[in-house]
Structure 1
Amino acid sequence: MNGAAKGAIVGGVFLAMAGGTAYGVYALVGDAGDSGGTAGGTSVQAAKGSGPVGEKDAAATAKAFLAAWAAGDGRAAAELTNNVAAAESAVGGFRNTAYVSKAVITPGTPAGTTMPFKVAAEVTYEGVTKPLVYDSKLTVVRGLTSGRPLVDWQPSIIHPQLGQNETLRAGEPANPPVKAVDRNGEELTAEKYPSLRPVLDQLRATYGSKTGGAPGAELWIEPAAGGSSARRTLLTLVEGRPSTLKTYLDATVQAAAEQAVARYPQASVVAVKPSNGHILAIANHRADGYDAAMTGNRAPGSTMKIVTAAMLLNRGLVAADKPAECTKEAVWGGRTFHNLKNFELPGATFATSFAKSCNTAFIKPIDGVRDDAALSKEAKEVFGIGLDWKTGIKSTDGRVPTATGAEEAAAYIGQGQITMNPLNVASITATARTGVFRQPLLVSPDLDGRTIATTERRMKPGVQQQLVSMMRLTAAGGTAAEAMASVGGDKGGKTGSAEVDGAGSPDSWFTGFGGDVAAAAMVEGGGHGGDAAGPIVAAVLSAR
């Protein structure tokens, strides 16, 4: 591209509209008539004060800020905020790095000290102009030192998708676009599968330069240096030539996952194929856009009992068909543990205690384990938890640290210091299903030669058979029965409810298998595992 043309936006204008009447018309670059960034040449100087900002002062400050922004005067706009340096950089970047050549900023109706507004902009790069329209808002607060009404600076004022230390940039991206396809060759787009937007951005960043193609030109959000978020494309100015990248996702399962999580706020789900570890679906429905499905770290509740049961079975401390003491409560390390609503199961087998999710039946055998690291070893050596999985995109390993006393007992039932995400728990179920850990994969390791994690030992056949039989019992007549009723064929499940400090309701966890698909879901604050996470997993398994 011709670099000399990139900054050629002289003559573009910003307009700030109030009630349909322009109160500022300025040339963005090179206008001799620039009035210095104030609204219509009139400076707005709000009075000092104390206490909450009044609505009248808030509206005046908000409109003055928008007028200065519309004039392209970063300094004048910044002086009306409580973070001058950050605001000046962002407003200047709107013109200089995002290449916004024209904008109409229209204030809406204030709500207290918050002013909504609409931006109808044009981005011009290399002689190509495309529209960019969005809604945003700002809030006015009292300056801590000045006492004046000031815009409470947030990057989202410039664009609602901007996070802390993120910037808008336009130009030729570092990596060409990729056309991601599922295992059967069907194209996967963010428009059709919204949960995949961050996944597709990561795939492009990682593999775009490895699979050919040409970059084109775009407007994008540049993530903060060292941050965990991925680069996000907002607007395509010049279509690049994409290369095709095959993933292991399944479009049918992904569609079911998208629809299922949409029913609950703060919901996430992952599905994997036990026979090879391929990831079939990743979906999140969260207001914060966080990929909790792959990178979350929350206590998994009783879904952890799959690992605990495997450890106890392996050591011969329990057997599926032998009695297990399921009392109302159990004491370990000076702490008393209870079952949900203090239920008890006199004379129940370990399989029944597993199916009914009896906490005390899992805590009472601790005395016979005689190894504080037993659960941690089982999780890592058999289930692969903590082996630094390289799935093809960013993912977080589960954490099962060695614990003693009451913390050890809490770990046995998925509380304490243990953290997981739906990817980890889906993999645990997949390992239980086959007896062999297969590291989850989103794309082939042949693309970049990355090393795939393997475990030190496989599950004993006798342990695996008992574990699967108990999960089948849970789905047939235990705590997972209602949620799994719609899933046909060979199936198994496990519920979980994880208490979180300060939360009004526990996190809802559920995991299950159906045929050669294993899935796990989590709904923050969703309550009992079968109530929210259960229907999500059932919907995904039914799509297989």
Structure 2
Amino acid sequence: MRDRQEPEDYQGYAGHTELDGYDFEDGGGGDAGGDPGAPRRSGARKAVLATVGGVFAALLAVGGYGLHTIVTTVQGGSSSGGSGGSQASGSATQTPQAPATAEEAAAVTTDFLAAWGRGDVTAASALTSRPEAARAALAAFQENVPARTLALTATGPAGGAAGGTAGGTDGEPVVGFRVKAEFEGATGAWEYDSTLGVVRGGSGKALVHWTPAVLHPHLAQGGTIAVKALPDPVSKPTDRNGKPLEGFPSLAAVLPRITPADGGTVVGGRAVVLSAAGKEPEQLYVLTPPSAPQVKLTLDAELQRVAEEAIKQQAAGGKPASLVAIQPSTGHILAMAYSPSGHNRAVSAGQAPGSTMKVITSAALLEAGVTPDTVVPCKDTTNSPRQWHNDERGDFPSYTLADDFSHSCNTGFIDKGLEKLQPGTLAKVARDQFGLGLEWHIGIDSRDATIPVPRTDDEAAAEYIGQGTIQVNSLAMASVAATVQSGTFRQPVLRADAKRVTAPGSLPAGVAKDLRAMMARTATQGTARTPMAGLTGQIGAKTGTAESGGTATNSWFIAYRGDLAVAAEVDGGGHGFAAAGVAAAQVLKAGGKG
């Protein structure tokens, strides 16, 4: 054989790729069988990787890879055992050996592939020029590519003399072989063609010339091949009718946060992947393609459009505002809008609801024996000992509970609440019958309602009219309206398959009937009559005006029409029938049925 050229003088063959950094000695690069005292031959050149054209042209391109980490790397390096090494002991020169014959190449290739295919790493590596490197690489391949079956078949000589290919020196034969790996649950078998070179070791025995490319023609030193999980691509959620939800300002930050029903991460596909340091992983074969199941949310695109516009109008001038619409019969959230962007106050805010809380206070009083016709005087002022008054000034001694509700009389609710209810009763009714205070999982992060047990009569009086330390949002209060309309608490959700909590108790049928009657009267004759004017069918409403500590008050409004319940709030919007009432009525008009 002719002397090797230095790397800078080497002219590669067309269709071959130089394997940088992989130097080896003739006949095994120092593996056992050579004389450890013999000097190294100078001019060791780089191995060259043979590539097979067209084999991988049809590889699927699927974005994204799992977090599985491959810790075993395929490494080169010389071995101190096995057969190889063609240096003459005690001599600075070597006696040239004849290249392996075609018959020898065929025999060692057959034995090597058979041992590799049956998983006998020790036997297979012993048939190579670098047993230790081969053993580590084959073991890593076996561990990281857990094929159910692995068939390796020699396909005959590949191009004659090896030249600069994986076979090594000129004249050494190169043998082609085909790999077919089958995997549990895969849609097909992974198949590819590769080659290996055959060299003669120091003992004169024909050996597989070991390089990482024996495992796969694209594998270079330091790379790994493994089966990795492919996470399902994130599908764009649609509304309940399959309509797209892009373009809605209030949903821009919501849609990417939609989680699976069980709160986990969806991982469906698997692929054989080649990784190399500093490079993007190369996907060699998709075993099981990932799926992107369509996620339908409970939202209604048409109603969402109306809600967005309604809040935009009421938020003009910089007033924060929000609105949530719910279907009482299912608990499905049909619309959710808020302003300004950045913080979803519709489901994550916490603020006092004003007189909309009187729906729950009324439920507690009705259970305590008060009826809608019970006389509950509406005094101009009352004390707890803190002094309280009403927006509608004057004394109305003949008012009933239903009158106090429809006219939103603070003093009547405070007096009767202090008389009939025990500390903590309001919180218990809110939790057991309306689900407020339970831990909700609606499909995105949300804030649960808090109704603390009052420590003083002043604190109790404040809670009875929705002031003090009560913290709710439009989501919670829309659910209150929905519970009254249907008579049953159904936790609101953005996904129909979401896991929901149920209330410990239930709203008594008689109480629900009385509440609906009082809310209907409020919608037609009371404080909510202006925004609800013109709406037909089963309707009910309650206004709320919450003190915020400044000169302006917060506007609250809850209502229902048929199988649609809405809650809206406008920070600094004034009376409940004004800003919030107008926004809620727009949605009820668009989506409610008579």
Which TM-score applies when normalising by structure 1? 0.59
Contact 1:392 1:445 in 2 (8 A): no
Q: Does 2:359 align with 1:300?
A: no
Contact 1:176 1:213 in 2 (8 A): no
Alignment of 1:250-289 (within 5 A): 250-265=300-315, 266-286=320-340, 288-289=341-342
Contact 1:177 1:204 in 2 (8 A): no
Is the partner of 1:445 in helix, strand or coil?
coil
Alignment of 1:23-422 (within 5 A): 176-189=233-246, 191=247, 193-203=248-258, 209-210=265-266, 243-265=293-315, 266-286=320-340, 288-316=341-369, 318-332=370-384, 334-403=385-454, 404-422=456-474
Give CA deviations for 1:310-329 in whole Å, capped at 9, x if unaligned: 0000111x211222111111
- Among the aligned pairs, what percent are the same residue? 42
1:138 is matched with which residue? none
Kindly tell me the number of residue pairs found equivalent between the two proteins. 340
Give CA deviations for 1:75-96 in whole Å, capped at 9, x if unaligned: xxxxxxxxxxxxxxxxxxxxxx
Report the residue type matching 1:525 in the other structure.
Answer: G
Deviation at 1:208, TM superposition (A): 9.7
Give CA deviations for 1:15-51 in whole Å, capped at 9, x if unaligned: xxxxxxxxxxxxxxxxxxxxxxxxxxxxxxxxxxxxx
Contact 2:356 2:557 in 1 (8 A): yes
CA distance in structure 2 between the partners assigned to 1:542 and 1:315 by the alignment: 36
Deviation at 1:426, TM superposition (A): 0.3
Aligned pair partner of 1:466 in 514, 528, 540? 514
Deviation at 1:264, TM superposition (A): 1.7
Contact 2:354 2:544 in 1 (8 A): yes
Contact 1:176 1:209 in 2 (8 A): no
1:234 is matched with which residue? none
1:510 is matched with which residue? 557
Give CA deviations for 1:421-456 in whole Å, capped at 9, x if unaligned: 00000001111112211111110335xxx4x21112
Deviation at 1:213, TM superposition (A): 9.3
Is the partner of 2:437 in helix, strand or coil?
coil
CA distance in structure 1 between the partners assigned to 2:62 and 2:348 by the alignment: 41
CA distance in structure 2 between the partners assigned to 1:470 and 1:391 by the alignment: 30
Deviation at 1:336, TM superposition (A): 0.8
Contact 2:553 2:571 in 1 (8 A): yes
Contact 1:363 1:409 in 2 (8 A): yes
1:116 is matched with which residue? none
1:68 is matched with which residue? none
Deviation at 1:267, TM superposition (A): 1.3
CA distance in structure 2 between the partners assigned to 1:381 and 1:208 by the alignment: 29
Is the partner of 2:382 in helix, strand or coil?
strand
Report the residue type matching 1:180 in the other structure.
Answer: P
Alignment CA distance shift 1:211-1:487 (3 Å)? farther
Contact 2:311 2:321 in 1 (8 A): yes
CA distance in structure 1 between the partners assigned to 2:561 and 2:62 by the alignment: 56
Contact 1:257 1:283 in 2 (8 A): yes
CA distance in structure 2 between the partners assigned to 1:205 and 1:391 by the alignment: 11
CA distance in structure 2 between the partners assigned to 1:414 and 1:174 by the alignment: 47
Report the residue type matching 1:518 in the other structure.
Answer: A
Contact 1:177 1:241 in 2 (8 A): no
Deviation at 1:345, TM superposition (A): 2.4
CA distance in structure 2 between the partners assigned to 1:435 and 1:2 by the alignment: 49
CA RMSD of superposed structures (Å): 2.4
Which TM-score applies when normalising by structure 2? 0.55
CA distance in structure 2 between the partners assigned to 1:492 and 1:213 by the alignment: 50
Contact 1:213 1:242 in 2 (8 A): no
Deviation at 1:201, TM superposition (A): 1.7
1:230 is matched with which residue? none
Give CA deviations for 1:235-287 in whole Å, capped at 9, x if unaligned: xxxxx99652111111121111011101022110001111111111100121x
Deviation at 1:366, TM superposition (A): 2.7
Q: Does 2:527 align with 1:476?
A: no
Whose radius of gyration is greater, 1 or 2? 2
CA distance in structure 2 between the partners assigned to 1:343 and 1:283 by the alignment: 38
Contact 2:372 2:514 in 1 (8 A): yes
Is the partner of 1:181 in helix, strand or coil?
coil
> What runs of 5+ residues in structure 1 fail to find an aligned partner?
4-172, 215-239
2:546 is matched with which residue? 498
CA distance in structure 2 between the partners assigned to 1:253 and 1:539 by the alignment: 10
Report the residue type matching 1:375 in the other structure.
Answer: L
Deviation at 1:183, TM superposition (A): 1.2
Give CA deviations for 1:91-133 in whole Å, capped at 9, x if unaligned: xxxxxxxxxxxxxxxxxxxxxxxxxxxxxxxxxxxxxxxxxxx
2:74 is matched with which residue? none
Report the residue type matching 2:348 in the other structure.
Answer: T
Report the residue type matching 1:184 in the other structure.
Answer: N
CA distance in structure 1 between the partners assigned to 2:560 and 2:491 by the alignment: 17
CA distance in structure 1 between the partners assigned to 2:481 and 2:528 by the alignment: 14
Deviation at 1:413, TM superposition (A): 0.2
